Each structure stands twice: as structure tokens, then as C-alpha cells.
A and B are shown apart, each in its own frame.
Chain A
Amino acid sequence: VTVKSPLSIALAAGLSLLTGCSNLGQVQPWEKGQLAKPSMTFEADPLDQRFMQHIYYSKDRAPPAASCSPR
């Protein structure tokens, strides 16, 4: 038995993987009820959002790490 062409085997394997997970289950536009919930957003909690903002602003205002001022 001769190995005809390892390339064609690799190509076939690659092509069969091409569709990937797309056939596992497509979420149709009308099936996005769960994704539309407020808890699914990046900024679900206003208090948590303000806290994050405060951290970012205070860090931005701080001198750069490379500066000479002691920390």
C-alpha cells in the first residue's frame, strides 16, 4: 500500500475542519432573548461600573511608572 499523497489527506482533513463549530447550532436573530438580558451586558451594574471608572481615572492621572518619583 502506497501513501498516495499526504498533502491530499491533510487538505481533506483541513477542509473538513473548515466549517468548524458553525454547524453545532446557529443562534437565529429571534433566539437572542437570553443575550438581550441586562445581566448579559458588559456594564450590568452601575455601581460596579463607577468603581471601574474610578480606578481607570485615578491610574491615568498617576505619574508614569518610568518616572523618578518614588511610589
Chain B
Amino acid sequence: MNPKPHAFKAIVTLAVSGLLACSALAVEVGQPAPAFDLPGQQGTVQLSSYKGKTVYLDFWASWCGPCRQSFPWMNDMQKRYGAKGLRVVGVNLDQKPEDAKAFLATTPAQFDIAFDSAGQAPKQYGVKGMPTSLLIGPDGKVLMVHQGFKAESREELESQIKQALRIKE
């Protein structure tokens, strides 16, 4: 038996790359938001169709408690800042579409909903927690990445939205 140096090198490279592969790249502030094209409640939901609007993109699932709490708030934001150019887009990540339907029946959404049961969009965005929300400017660049939803963070998120829409206090 004679271990070849090439084989050894290859194994080392494989092992190291396997370790590095665990960390998915997350979208950061300033980067262009990855495009997606997903089925929605009425027709498809395309990120590119929101160009010129400020988008509050939210990744949610029916089993996620904070997501349920965030829905009335997102309805409120859409109602209050919709005229100023805000569009709230909720991307559902349930693996079973029925779960999402049941959730929406009890927690109505007055904003655009897209369904991504395959989880393509969150992979592109490098979602690390549920819910994850992003603010995307009219130019398609990410302005904010936020994880989770707490009662305390509402004001902070609203001020971020106001800042993105250039609304003075």
C-alpha cells in the first residue's frame, strides 16, 4: 500500500470544502436582491415587477409563531404606507400548501403572498431564521435584513420603513 500524495491532497481539500459548504451566503445590505418568480394567490409574484417600489419582503411559515404575530402589523404597514410606495410581499415557505391556506384563512393578509414550497428563494437569500424580513429599495438593492419578530422591534422596523420611503417624522 502506497498512499499517493495527490489522493491525500484531494481528501484534505474535500474535507475542508465540506466544512465550508455548511455556511450559506446570506444577502447583505447594499447587495442587489436576488430575483424570484413564484406562484401567488392571483397569478405569479415577481420581484422585478416591484421595481420602483420599496418592498418589505417577509419569509414566513404557518408553524412559526412570530410570523402569526407579524401579520396584523404587516397589514397595518401596507395600509398606512402603501400610498407612499411600500409593497409588503410575504413569501410562504410551508412544504405543504394546505398549511399555508389554513393559516391565511384564520390570519388574513392584505398584501401580496407568494408560495415557495421548494424553498428556492430562501436559499438564494440565505435565510437563517424564521421569520426573516428584508427591505428592498426602488433600485432593487437591499436596505435592511431583519430576523425574527418581536413586539419591541415594531417601532424600529417602522422607522426603517419610513427612512426607506423618505418620510419625515
With both beta carbons as reference points, the residue of chain A lying nearest to B59 in the complex is identified as A30
Residues in A neighbouring B59, C-beta threshold 8 A: 30
B22 within 8 A of A: yes
B43 within 8 A of A: no
**B-contacting 9-mer, from A32-40, A47-55, A63-71:** A32-40
Chain B interface size, as a band, is 20 to 34
Minimum Cβ distance to chain A for residue B98 (Å): 12
B123 within 8 A of A: yes
A5 within 8 A of B: yes
Q: Please determine whether A15 and B15 come into contact, CB atoms closer than 8 angstroms.
A: yes
Residues in B neighbouring A2, C-beta threshold 8 A: 2
- Which of A4, A12, A26 touches B22 (beta carbons < 8 Å)? A26
Q: A2-B2, A12-B3, A37-B63 are in contact. Are A30 and B12 (CB under 8 A)?
A: no
Q: Please determine whether B127 and A30 come into contact, CB atoms closer than 8 angstroms.
A: yes
Total contacts A-B at CB 8 Å = 66
Q: Please determine whether B3 and A29 come into contact, CB atoms closer than 8 angstroms.
A: no
Minimum Cβ distance to chain A for residue B17 (Å): 9
Q: Please determine whether A9 and B3 come into contact, CB atoms closer than 8 angstroms.
A: yes
Residues in A neighbouring B18, C-beta threshold 8 A: 18-19, 22-23
A1 within 8 A of B: yes
With both beta carbons as reference points, the residue of chain B lying nearest to A16 in the complex is identified as B11
- Which of A4, A9, A28 touches B119 (beta carbons < 8 Å)? A28
- Which of A12, A26, A29, A37 touches B8 (beta carbons < 8 Å)? A12
Q: Please determine whether B94 and A33 come into contact, CB atoms closer than 8 angstroms.
A: yes
With both beta carbons as reference points, the residue of chain B lying nearest to A15 in the complex is identified as B15
With both beta carbons as reference points, the residue of chain A lying nearest to B12 in the complex is identified as A15
B129 within 8 A of A: yes
Residues in A neighbouring B129, C-beta threshold 8 A: 29
Q: How far is the CA of A2 from the CA of B22 in the complex (A)?
A: 38
Within 8 A of A (CB), among B23-81: 59, 61-64
Q: Please determine whether B127 and A29 come into contact, CB atoms closer than 8 angstroms.
A: yes
A interface residue numbers (CB < 8 A to B)? 1-5, 8-9, 11-12, 15-16, 18-19, 22-23, 26, 28-33, 36-37
